[in-house]
Amino acid sequence: MAEIQNVVLLGVDAIVYFVALAALLRARGRIGLGAFFCALGVMHFLETYLASILYVSLPYGIITSPGSTVLFTGKLMMLLLLYIREDAVVVRQPIYGLLFGNVLLFVLAFIMRQHVPVSIAPSRAADFAFLNEMGALMVWGTAILFFDCIIIILLYERSRAWFGDRVFPRVFVCGVMVLTFDQLAFFTGLHMLTGAGVHVLAGGWAAKMGAVALYSVLASIYLIYFERPIGRRRDAPKIWDIFDTLTYRERYEDLLARTGCDALTGALDRHSLEAHGRRSVEHAAAAGRPLALVLVDIDHFKAFNDRFGHAAGDKALKRIALDIMAAARVSDFTYRFGGEEFVVIGDGVNAEDALSLADRIRRRIAGSGDAEGRLTVSIGVSTCPRDATDYDTLFEIADKRLYQAKAAGRNRIVGERILPADGSVRLVG
């Protein structure tokens, strides 16, 4: 009877936890995300405390803690919801805050142990050993959470290919896979610090799977009836920069959905450039952040079409668009400006790095394709704020430099310096 009661109470705990935090998430437009983040932080301490102290029995001999089953599983699901509704840059804020706060707790607890305490009552002595144990578990748990979030976001994006836009199976499968990894990782630290047995590992895993199922149902209801996912996101390979990269990819996919892409090459179209490119320059200039505009033009493309035909020309355009996107960073935006011209917008790219980006593009295109039909490109580069702080002037400067590159013999780059095909460097002017 006690086991059934514990199951019911865990379910009630999970529902109360989810409804309360989902309400804060839903109200973020009125009160901001600070309330949601603070609530997660408060629950994080309780979660770790319960995971190290309080365990309950469930049917079939399962032993679990409400801290890991309800609070940790719920926190991971709430962070996934936050990613779905916002972006990865927002998700990283509570994770980094929790990690920093836990490390600070551990450091301060160590310093405070050096105090000579005065007892105010015989039964009120500070238990620093327990505080150390808690601090270590909190740091370990948050470090695992960092990787949990990376993995669950990547899996969620990958799961679109498996389940389409069906929310429940995507959330459930991702939760099962990530929390299996998490249970193994967290149990390792728990066993080393508290001596917890293998039965805790097995019981905690089984209980977490049940919690994942319940939270997946709740998350699906929330997304379907209260908020619908925005944008389309794709995974990215840079683990160290994963939150930035995921956000850029989400915005890229959202831009495709809202404004469309060039039907032939798959790059963003000129309308997208006018909308997003202009806005990117404005934001970079306002923030004092560098931004590069790279204008790419295929050399002698009309002659190539005349010689090989328009079908071969279309094939070459597709290949060159792919070459440009492969040479650029995953966070850069590639547009087909028109005809044989492409534009790359690199947010956060300074003048020197812009030349390196342009040179990667030039070299990749020059080295691809059949030897008989190999093409080269000329490139003009301008950067914000060094060359200009508005989109129109920045584009005009890149366009002038592109024509300087063509006049200088093609297959070269003109920015603040000229980079010819042989790799030598000459200053402009």
Q: How far apart are CA 106 and CA 424, in angstroms?
A: 54
Same domain, 55 and 201: yes
Same domain, 222 and 289: no
**How many separate domains does the chain show?**
2
Q: Quick one: pLDDT band at residue 320, thresholds 50, 70, 90?
A: very high
Q: Is 57 contained in some domain?
A: yes
Mean pLDDT throughout 310-319? 92
pLDDT at 239 > cutoff 50? no
Crossing angle for the helix pair 278-287 and 391-407, to the nearest 10 degrees: 110
The answer to whether 235 and 86 have CB atoms below 8 angstroms apart is no
What DSSP designation does 381 have?
Answer: E
Which amino acid belongs to residue 46?
A: L
pLDDT at 212 > cutoff 90? yes
Q: Is 235 contained in some domain?
A: no
Which amino acid belongs to residue 122?
A: P
Distance set, CA 200 to CA 6, 107, 219, 266 (Å): 16, 29, 27, 51
More confident residue, 66 or 92: 66
Pull the structure tokens for residue 370. Answer: 């059949």
Same domain, 305 and 385: yes
Same domain, 200 and 276: no
Same domain, 167 and 77: yes
Q: What is the CA radius of gyration of the chain?
A: 27
pLDDT at 125 > cutoff 90? no
Phi-psi region of 409 (alpha: psi -120 to 50; beta: other; left: phi over 0): left
Q: Is 347 contained in some domain?
A: yes
* pLDDT of amino acid 103: 78
Is residue 237 exposed (0-12), middle (13-18) or buried (19+ Cβ within 10 Å)? exposed
Mean pLDDT across the chain: 83
Same domain, 208 and 269: no
* pLDDT of amino acid 190: 65
Q: Tally the residues of the chain.
A: 429
pLDDT at 128 > cutoff 70? no
More confident residue, 372 or 402: 402
Mean pLDDT throughout 71-91? 85
* pLDDT of amino acid 231: 40
More confident residue, 192 or 320: 320
Domain, as residue range, for 135: 2-113+126-226
Same domain, 301 and 186: no
* pLDDT of amino acid 62: 81
Final residue in a domain of this structure, among 177, 206, 226? 226
Mean pLDDT throughout 40-69? 82
Same domain, 53 and 184: yes
**To the nearest whole percent, how much of the chain has pLDDT over 90?**
38
pLDDT tens digit string along 244-273?
555 555 555 555 555 568 888 989 988 888
The answer to whether 248 and 346 have CB atoms below 8 angstroms apart is no
Mean pLDDT throughout 103-119? 78
Q: Which of 108-117, 304-313, 401-410 has the lowest mean pLDDT?
A: 108-117
* pLDDT of amino acid 317: 94
Q: Which of 100-109, 288-297, 370-379 has the lowest mean pLDDT?
A: 100-109
The answer to whether 426 and 418 have CB atoms below 8 angstroms apart is yes
Phi-psi region of 32 (alpha: psi -120 to 50; beta: other; left: phi over 0): left
What SS3 state is found at 339? coil
More confident residue, 69 or 132: 69
Q: How far apart are CA 313 and CA 315, in angstroms?
A: 5
Same domain, 150 and 275: no
194: nearest Cα among 148, 143, 146, 140 = 140
Same domain, 333 and 213: no
Distance set, CA 119 to CA 115, 131, 318 (Å): 12, 17, 76
Which amino acid belongs to residue 337?
A: F
pLDDT at 107 > cutoff 90? no
Mean pLDDT throughout 142-149? 81
Pull the structure tokens for residue 164. Answer: 């389409």
Final residue in a domain of this structure, among 170, 200, 226? 226
Is residue 150 exposed (0-12), middle (13-18) or buried (19+ Cβ within 10 Å)? buried
The CATH number assigned to the domain holding 308 equals 3.30.70.270
Q: How far apart are CA 178 and CA 80, in angstroms?
A: 12
Crossing angle for the helix pair 73-85 and 128-163, to the nearest 10 degrees: 50
Same domain, 14 and 160: yes
Q: Is 246 contained in some domain?
A: no
Same domain, 264 and 181: no
* pLDDT of amino acid 194: 64
Element at 188 (helix H, strand E):
helix 167-194
